[in-house]
Amino acid sequence: MPVYAYRGLNEAGKEQTGLLDADSPKALRVLLKRQGIRIIDHHEEKTKKESLLSLKHRGQTEVDFKRYFARITVSDVALTTRQLATLLRSGITLIDSLQAIVDQIDKENFKSIFAAIKSDVNEGSSMADAMAKHPQVFDELYVSMVRAGEASGALDSVLGRLADFSEAQARLRHKVRSAMLYPAIMLGVGSIIMLIIFVAVIPRITKIFQQVRADLPIQTRILIVMADVVKGYWYLLLPAIAGCVFLFLRWKKSESGRPKWDRFILVAPIFGFVVRLVAIARFSRTLATLLRAGVPVLIALDITKNVLNNSRLAEVVAEAREAIREGESIAAPLRKSGEFPPIVVHMVATGEKSGQLEEMLENVADSYDFQVDQRVSSLTTLIEPILIVTMGVGVGFIVFAVLLPILQLSQHVR
């Protein structure tokens, strides 16, 4: 779709410039008219980047590149969903609510998406179908819930639940990333210090030992060899490390490698239990949210399977979907797999029997979100001393390897 750079006057009479995707100049005028902008000038650009540059060169406006190219985050979607739910709950029509959202959003790439959604809805499309055209922002879960909300006439309630879900996912992601930040910084700083020692310090000490022609202990010889390799072959080591990382990531995403990796990560020492907690919390929260919105259970399980990001657990959910299709319960495949804790299986089975599956799943999600919070805090507390000890052992080995021959030389001098 062509990209147009435009200049026009808004309803307040102020000049406004920007970019907009449109099929033709006529369609551009229609879209801008719906936004309350009277167009003065426009031209087609090959890319949005070229449009921004040309706008700057003509001196029409100082364009903030971040507004156009900033990444649309889960938090952005959650906030916008919450605002849209509030507007609809207040009795404002869908078209007016979407226009308010367009006016509110600061990121131009996100603004243009909602402007397109408003245009499609205004032309008779459902909001779910309009959002489905933008899968990079609105995933299958989001679109399915909106479609169910439109069908049931409870779009405001469904959007409220979607906002709750998106906010919970954003909080969970933030907790995990925050927990990993400090250990990553420590590991990075430690690696840089070790690199400086190997490249700058050890070679100087080696020259001193070579001048005195002393017999060096095995620890010192190992250290010197390591320093020589790092300093002399760094141009080979860096591509080798990068190649190993690339091959590992490619294997992890392959059809043969991903199932093995996903099974391993669930039982991996230290991290495995946290990964399982996060996955079960996501499974429970997603399925509960979809069922609350009125999405049929088979479709809900299919969507839940796709958001787990673990092929082993997705396989179990697929088995549960087939069990439902054959008239069986969800709990049986979960129990048989051994991947879900007994308490979760028991609560799912109880929810199915009592007709309160959504409530039980929400209880599971709340419980596991709390456990994730506790475990992540404990994990951070555990990793910190492990890294300190590991770095201490490395530095201690270097100090020992350097001081030992010096002590031996001092004894010979005496």
Residue 297 belongs to a domain with what CATH number? 1.20.81.30
Distance of CA 175 to the CA centre of its chain: 12
Predicted confidence at residue 52, as pLDDT, reads 47
Q: Which residues pair with 42 in a beta bridge?
A: 6
Written as six digits, the tokens of 273 are 């239990």
Give the per-residue pLDDT at 413: 55
- pLDDT score of 199: 82
Q: Same domain for 126 and 245? A: no
Percent of the chain with pLDDT over 70: 91
**pLDDT for 62:** 41
Residues 55 and 101 in one domain: no
pLDDT band at 412 (very low <50, low <70, confident <90, very high): low
Residue 165's pLDDT is: 83
In sequence order, what are the residues at sequence separation of 6 or more whose Cβ sits closer than 8 angstroms to the Cβ of residue 7?
15, 16, 17, 39, 40, 41, 42, 60
Higher pLDDT, 251 or 61: 251
Instruction: Clarify whether residues 89 and 13 are in a common domain.
Output: no
Residue 14 is classified by DSSP as: -
Domain that holds residue 376: 173-414
Let me know whether 268 and 359 are in one domain: yes
Q: What is the mean pLDDT of residues 397-407?
A: 83
Least confident of 172-176, 223-227, 243-247, 300-304: 172-176
Query: 0.85 cut: is pTM over it?
Result: no
301-307 average pLDDT score:
86
Residues 283 and 368 in one domain: yes
Q: What is the pLDDT of residues 235-260, one digit of tens each?
A: 888 899 999 999 999 999 898 899 99
Cα–Cα dist 60/88, whole Å: 37
pLDDT above 80 for 345: yes
Tell me the mean pLDDT in the region 171-196. 81
Residue that is last in its domain, among 167, 196, 215: 167
Residue 172, pLDDT above cutoff 70: yes
**β-bridge partners, 277:** none
What band does 61 get if pLDDT is binned at 50, 70 and 90?
very low
Q: What confidence tens digit (pLDDT) does each residue in 354-377 have?
A: 888 999 998 998 898 888 888 877
Residue 6 has φ and ψ, to the nearest 5°, of -130, 160
Task: Based on the fold, state whether residues 46 and 160 are members of the same structural domain.
Answer: no
Q: What are phi and psi of 39, to 5 degrees?
A: -75, 135
Q: Which of 69, 86, 107 is the last residue of a domain?
A: 69
Q: How confident is the model over 365-390, as a mean pLDDT?
A: 83
Same domain for 178 and 99? no
pLDDT at 129: 92
Q: Answer yes or no: do 162 and 228 share one domain.
A: no
Report the Cα–Cα distance between both ends of the chain, in Å, rounded: 85
Q: Are residues 26 and 79 in the same domain?
A: no
Residue 293 has pLDDT above 50, yes or no: yes
**For 168-174, what is the mean pLDDT?**
79
Give residue 208's pLDDT.
78
Structure confidence at residue 57 as a pLDDT band (50, 70, 90): very low
Question: What type of residue sits at position 108?
Answer: E
Output the six-digit token pair for 389: 């000890």
Average pLDDT estimate for 64-77 = 70
Say which residues have a Cβ less than 8 Å from residue 23's Cβ, sequence separation at least 6.
Answer: 1, 2
Q: What is the mean pLDDT of the chain?
A: 83
Task: State the Cα–Cα distance between residues 274 and 376, nearest whole angstrom.
Answer: 7
pLDDT of residue 59 exceeding 50, the answer is no
- State mean pLDDT over 380-386: 80
Please give the pLDDT value at position 69. Answer: 56
Residue 60 above 80 pLDDT?
no
Q: Do residues 93 and 182 both lie within one domain?
A: no
Asked if 390 and 273 sit in the same domain, the reply is yes
Section 16-25 average pLDDT: 75
Residue-level pLDDT at 67: 52
CA distance 289 to 291: 6
Mind giving me the DSSP string for 242-267?
HHHHHHHHHHHHSTTHHHHHHHHHHH
The yes-or-no verdict on residue 13 having pLDDT over 80 is no
Give the pLDDT score at 147: 87
Domains contained in the chain, number: 3
Q: Which two tokens stand for residue 5?
A: 């750079």
Least confident of 44-53, 182-191, 379-388: 44-53
Which of 167, 197, 216 is the last residue before a domain boundary? 167
